[in-house]
Chain A
């Protein structure tokens, strides 16, 4: 017979509450259960009204991000036994408006992502018949780390600047811009600079570093942002000293 553990889950039901409240559920503590399995147990067996997002259960879809004992975590990759004897506090991701219970509103994030033009930009579109754009393993290594982002928004939840500055592009969007800037097939770095080298872009970041700590995929958005600060500063200096050579 397995032990039990208490989940303290944030509830917000806008039709009857002005502010979120906490509800406790006692669930079986199985060795192989992640926090998400615990929530699914609540939903299936104890309280069907609990709302939360999830899909793949394997750290790929990025939809089950929540705040677990104060830390932004993917609940599918966070195991109940690590929090023994409990209780475990489960809250919605921070720095986002809450729609219901553990479901946050991500429209702001979705509007920010395309601002950095996260796609391959070429000076001239080539016909498909011209063949592939070849790339060496070393060239791929330059950006591969940044392409691992699953848009789970844990970094937005961890970043105090995201909470304080509404316009800040945020860690994932800037890391995604770097994913394309550092891609040997891309020629759009100068187009992205107008968005990135601004107070709402990289210069809004004060290098707290928590985005990198929170990232479940090892993307290191803080590193991406600081690297881009160097690039942007060097570009500004170049356009000041050699105005005829800047784009």
Chain B
């Protein structure tokens, strides 16, 4: 059935969602920014792949990549991307306990523990990455 057409009530008022429906409310704005952050997550993956490719091609290519990264606009883009990545991770970790119902000995694991476990995992992987690169 076509919901737009209603035989007996042609005069219902059907409000339209304004284009900027997400501006006026904090939770909607955060949601749209979180959705937008996925573009920057994708960009970070592309940037990482470009780095790996440059490293595999040898010293000259790697130097070119470093020069490209030093570019002010590239630097600005990556700073924005980092900010969105952190925003993405934090909002995601905050939402995780709502989706995960973990039970231990019949009792539901508290939300803070699930969020905490995510942060611990993040810290652990970051430490591992730092050790691999700097160590």
Contact = CB atoms under 8 A, between A and B. Distances in A.
A210 interface: yes
Contacts of A166: 3
Contacts of B71: none
Contacts of A111: 1
A28 B34 CA distance: 44
Which of the listed residues B12, B13, B22, B99 has the most CB atoms from chain A within 10 Å of its own CB? B13
B17 A220 contact: no
B135 interface: no
Interface string A92-131: 0010011100000100100100000000000000000000
Interface string B18-31: 00011011011001
A84 interface: no
Contact of A209 (B3, B15, B98, B101): B98
B31 A164 contact: no
Interface in A155-207: 160, 163-164, 166, 206-207
Contact of B13 (A12, A209, A212): A12
A19 interface: yes
Interface residues of A, number: 32
Given A160-B22, A208-B31, A209-B98, A14 B15 contact: no
Interface stretch (A39-47, A52-60, A221-229, A236-244): A221-229
Contacts of A108: 3
Contacts of A86: none
The interface centre, meaning the residue of B3, B21, B22, B98 with most chain A CB atoms within 10 A of its CB, is B98
Given A208-B28, A213-B27, A14 B11 contact: yes
A222 B31 CA distance: 13
A105 B9 contact: yes
Interface string B63-101: 000000000000000000000000000000001001111
Give 6 nearest A-B pairs by CB, closest first: A226-B99, A14-B11, A97-B12, A98-B13, A223-B98, A208-B31
Interface of B: 1, 3, 6, 9, 11-15, 17, 21-22, 24-25, 27-28, 31, 35, 95, 98-101, 106
Interface of A: 12, 14-15, 19-20, 70, 94, 97-99, 105, 108, 111, 138, 160, 163-164, 166, 206-210, 212-213, 220, 222-223, 226-227, 229-230
Given A14-B11, A208-B31, A212-B98, 9 more contacts: A19-B13, A98-B13, A105-B12, A160-B22, A207-B31, A209-B31, A220-B98, A223-B101, A229-B99
16 contacts: A12-B13, A70-B24, A97-B14, A98-B14, A99-B9, A99-B12, A105-B6, A108-B3, A166-B3, A207-B95, A209-B98, A210-B27, A212-B98, A220-B98, A222-B98, A226-B95
